[in-house]
A and B are shown apart, each in its own frame.
Chain A
Amino acid sequence: MNILLLIFSILIYASLGPTNLIYILFSILTTYYGALHLKKKNKKRKLIFRMVIILNIILLVFFKFITYNNFFNLFKANSILVPLGVSYYTFQVLAYFIDVYQGKIKPEKNFFNYLLFVFYIPYLFIGPINRYEDLKKTLFKKRKLTLNNLFNGLLRICFGLFKKYVIASRIALVITSITTANLEGAYVLLATILYSFQLYADFSGGIDIVLGFSSILGITLQENFKQPYLAINMQDFWHRWHISLSTWFRDYVYIPLGGNRVSKIRQKLNIIITFIVSGLWHGINYFFWGLFHGLIVAFEPRKKNARFLRIAFNFLLVSLLWSFFIYPSSFTALKMVLSIFYQFNYGDLAKNILNLGLDLGNIIVLIISLISLIGIDLKYEKIKNWLYNKNNLTKLTYICFIILIILVFGVYGLGFNTSDFIYSKF
């Protein structure tokens, strides 16, 4: 099955741009052979380690830069295409390589296994960033296709599609209306709050599809979300949001910088640096987004009282910072967020609510969908276990029902550009 999976993955990846293969193979070859030469007795161990890390980071930074202002006009926008999933696979192979160097894991000798570890196509689009140690437990083992896995996987895929097409794509229409008309004040507040749900539904929906697909094949991937908007502060948020990325930064940036084992001031500086790097991983435009997150995590109080208020406040804070994702530049994002505090046009917003891309029927569907999403999130583990313990016929019924819901209430098709996932561009 793994041979088929690898061929399938490579073919799909190559079909999206054959030149992509050159870059991903570069990362694969350097880290695979590099890792095999990281034996303790090898005198050139450090040199190999540094070379491989630097080469892969240079490649990643290069691609991040060419998306920004065409690398100061050295490259035309379309002359070089950013390889699909470069951010994800680079981090995945670097984690593997560093772990081997630190002696946490043994190098993979089987090149075919290593190819599959990197090439496994579902995650290449949107993550999560998998750790070799975790993935090898199921990816390299002989697996059986079971009906139970099939239905659990399909349920998860359906839930992901529901989030993407019923919630995220619907909200996208409102965000587009607000941003294209340059609406300020209350509209920006609405846009940032709705965008929080859009991004969550879009990203976690995509991850649900990846995890569901993997589950059908009997492969277990890391969960990437844990009810992030129920976080009581920003640090808690980052324990729940894009977990595979935040743990990567913790393990391979924050801890190597000294982590908690340094002075308080240095620790705060490490946090800020880590978040700035995290922002830059998303793109040059996200520097300030990373900086603000870093400052908040470094200096926020760690109290746990007034839980509901803290959750609400943190959600609002996270939402306002998503403005860096909504608007094309940091300056515009800051300007728009500031307008919330001096333009009190809530009456105008109430009057125009039906002119923001959604009619009444669509607004009702959105509200019901959001309530469902929040409700499921509040009791996620319970609902998941309850569903997974049902017999396959019940699961099939739910799957059919969700498919009908998506077909009718999804936002897709002619006139809508909703096929891409937001996080697939990073």
Chain B
Amino acid sequence: MKKVCLSILIIGIFILSLGFLNRLLSPKYQDSLVEGHMIKEYYGEEMNHEVIFLGDCEVYANFSPLVMYEEEGITSFVRGTSQQLIWQSLGILKETLKYETPRIVVFNVNALRYDKPVSEAYNRLTLDNMKWSREKLEIIKDSMLEEESLLDYILPILRYHSRFSKLTKEDFKYLFSEKNITFNGFLINKNIKPVSSLPTKKTLPNYNFSDNVLEYLNKITSLCEENNIKLILIKAPSLYPYWYQEYDNQIKKYAYQNNLDYYNFQGLATEIGIDYQTDTYDGGLHLNLYGATKLSKYFAHILKEKYNLTDYRVNEEINSLYQAKIIEYNKAIEE
């Protein structure tokens, strides 16, 4: 009996050590590559949301839920991640539905141009900090490149062990504690880099979205229908990568056929008031804080007017939670 207890103790210490090393060697996504922390921040939310955003950097850089709240009292969260692929959006939507059922899901259609996994690094930014669930497993299987292994996701030390010689202060500082780096999924960037020249528009051999990505879009549409969620398709006002007219026509047609609303903000930039000389931090790829504020206000008005969302500013409990966030948000802007 004593031997059995000691064996269990030894194995227990081994598992704890493994857990500790796993944590130590995995990237912390706190001061560098912060995009890898975004997916995790949703789990700490204390309230439900009426609007959930899904998509790639075009959502987390361009829509600020706290501005939308201040403007129209809309509760929302951006569940966007770097280069979020459409099957990842579907998985994240399924996961979200385990926690809450929003009234509206906003999906940025830029991901439809990607039919295959792009890179392991992007997969990692989306998946490393996602909670374990059947959805996560499905996303991993669908997202893995040929050279990747499922085991590396299950036990990250297998992937990150070589960081032992590259550990930085960040790895020790955030070993046991973490900070949020977004505000309801919005990543603040105050830098300004005006649009000077845009990459040349390449001619593509084929402009049709693949059956594969359309199938995932159908799944998202069906899932929203089943849960009585209004699905809104959007295209953020990024100037590149180039959003071809052929792409846009297909989305318009899809939206029409499925009775969905589609907003392409590229054509509305003037109306929104976006100035690409001051409102972008990387020459037109993403909006900066100032551009995102304009877009968020504009979209908040649409959501409020057209979809009759609740104004939570009159709800004392929720308002106090949001006001606390807004104080932190304003502090971060001023810093």
Contacts and interface: CB of A to CB of B under 8 A. Distances in A.
Interface of A: 359-362, 365, 392-393, 396-397, 400, 403-404, 407-414
B47 to A, nearest CB: 39
7 contacts: A359-B166, A400-B17, A408-B25, A408-B161, A409-B161, A412-B161, A413-B161
Nearest to A410: B161
Given A359-B165, A397-B10, 16 more contacts: A361-B166, A362-B165, A392-B3, A400-B10, A400-B17, A404-B18, A407-B21, A408-B161, A410-B161, A411-B162, A413-B152, A413-B158, A413-B161, A414-B147, A414-B148, A414-B152
Contacts of B25: 408
Contacts of B6: 393
Given A393-B6, A393-B7, A414-B120, A404 B164 contact: no
B230 interface: no
Contact of A403 (B14, B120, B152, B162): B14
B157 A408 contact: yes
Interface of B: 3, 6-7, 10-11, 13-14, 17-18, 21, 25, 120, 147-149, 152, 157-159, 161-162, 164-166
Contacts of A365: 165
B148 A404 contact: no
A400 B8 CA distance: 12
B56 to A, nearest CB: 23
Contacts of B164: 361, 408-409
A397 B8 CA distance: 11
Contacts of A407: 18, 21, 157-158, 161
A413 B161 CA distance: 9
B121 to A, nearest CB: 11
A404 B158 CA distance: 11
A103 to B, nearest CB: 51
A393 B21 CA distance: 23
Contact of A400 (B14, B158, B161, B165): B14
A111 to B, nearest CB: 40
B162 A413 contact: yes
Contacts of B158: 407, 412-413
B13 A400 contact: yes
Nearest to B6: A393
Contact of A396 (B7, B17, B120, B161): B7
B165 A361 contact: yes
Contacts of B162: 411, 413
A360 B166 CA distance: 10
Nearest to A416: B162
Contacts of B3: 392-393
Nearest to B161: A408
A408 B11 contact: no
A410 B157 CA distance: 11
A361 B166 CA distance: 8
Per CB-CB distance, the 3 closest pairs between chain A and chain B, nearest first, are A361-B165, A400-B14, A408-B161
A360 B7 CA distance: 37
B9 to A, nearest CB: 9
Contacts of B120: 414
A346 B149 CA distance: 41
Nearest to B15: A400
Contacts of A410: 161
Contacts of A413: 149, 152, 158-159, 161-162
A346 to B, nearest CB: 25
Nearest to B164: A408
A373 to B, nearest CB: 19
A301 B10 CA distance: 53
A384 B170 CA distance: 42
A420 B219 CA distance: 42
Contact of B10 (A396, A412, A414): A396
A413 B164 CA distance: 14
A173 to B, nearest CB: 11
B112 to A, nearest CB: 28
Contact of A360 (B14, B152, B165): B165
B147 A404 contact: no
A55 to B, nearest CB: 41
A360 B14 CA distance: 28
Nearest to B20: A404
B316 to A, nearest CB: 51
Contacts of B148: 414
Given A404-B17, A408-B21, A393 B10 contact: yes
A61 to B, nearest CB: 37
A365 B166 CA distance: 13
A22 B165 CA distance: 48
A397 B13 CA distance: 10
By CB atoms of chain A within 10 A, which of B13, B21, B161 has the most? B161
